[in-house]
Amino acid sequence: MKEYDKMTVKELVEELTSLGVSFNKKALKAELLELLLAETAGKSEPAAEASSAAETAPAAESPAEKKQSGKKAATRMVSADSGYAIIRTGGKQYQVSTGTLIRVEKIAGNVGDTVELKDVLAVSDGSTLNIGKPAVAGAVVAARIVEQGKAKKVLVFKKKRRKGYRVKRGHRQMYTALEISGISV
């Protein structure tokens, strides 16, 4: 038996693919190690089965049945490797997926705080695209504030010829850098 703890992420990925195990290519080393140990011990993939069951359960029920049952729909996470969402914040739209880093207009909060962006215009899990009218009901994009700062200076120069009128101003726009941690529907 190999010493899996001392293997690099690349070696773990190669080992899992040689065993024919399906997994998230952006998974952390601990998750890959857990899958590999479970596979070599003769167990099935507990994490993969749980995630596939969570993804298929809400899709089995039609929207009309959801309204009739009156129960709150279970939230499901969109996979990091193929899923994405289109969000609107600060008057602009951004296409994001789990792990991406974006700069948006200033959002109140400190570095390290978590922010929930609820103005989600569309969500795709790789196979289906859910477009909202105007927003997808119940969809939330969770993000962590990485940085609060100012952009580079933009110079604004105004002049009227032959009048002696010249004004030079500078402007630095405030921004918030966000790291997308999850997309749920």
| pLDDT at 12 (0 to 100) | 74
* Cβ atoms of residues 85 and 139 within 8 Å: yes
Q: What is the pLDDT of residues 92-124, one digit of tens each?
A: 999 999 999 999 999 999 999 999 999 999 999
> Which of 116, 119, 107 shows the shortest CA–CA distance to 147?
107
Instruction: List the structure tokens of 32.
Output: 């890959």
Q: What pLDDT does residue 25 have?
A: 63
What is the per-residue pLDDT for 52?
Answer: 40
Q: Are 101 and 179 in contact (CB under 8 A)?
A: yes
Q: Which residues of the chain have pLDDT under 50?
A: 1, 43-73
The pLDDT value recorded for residue 8 is 76
- What are residue 169's DSSP bridge partners? 156
**What pTM was estimated for this model as a whole?**
0.56
Q: Is residue 59 located within the same domain as residue 139?
A: no
Q: Which pLDDT score, from 0 to 100, does residue 2 have?
A: 62
Helix (H) / strand (E) containing 56: helix 46-60
Q: Which domain holds residue 44?
A: 4-69
Residues 157 and 112 in one domain: yes
Dihedral angle over CA of 38, 42, 45, 47, nearest 10: -30
Examine the domain organization and report whether 163 and 132 are in the same domain: yes
Q: Three-state DSSP class for 57?
A: helix
Residues 143 and 55 in one domain: no
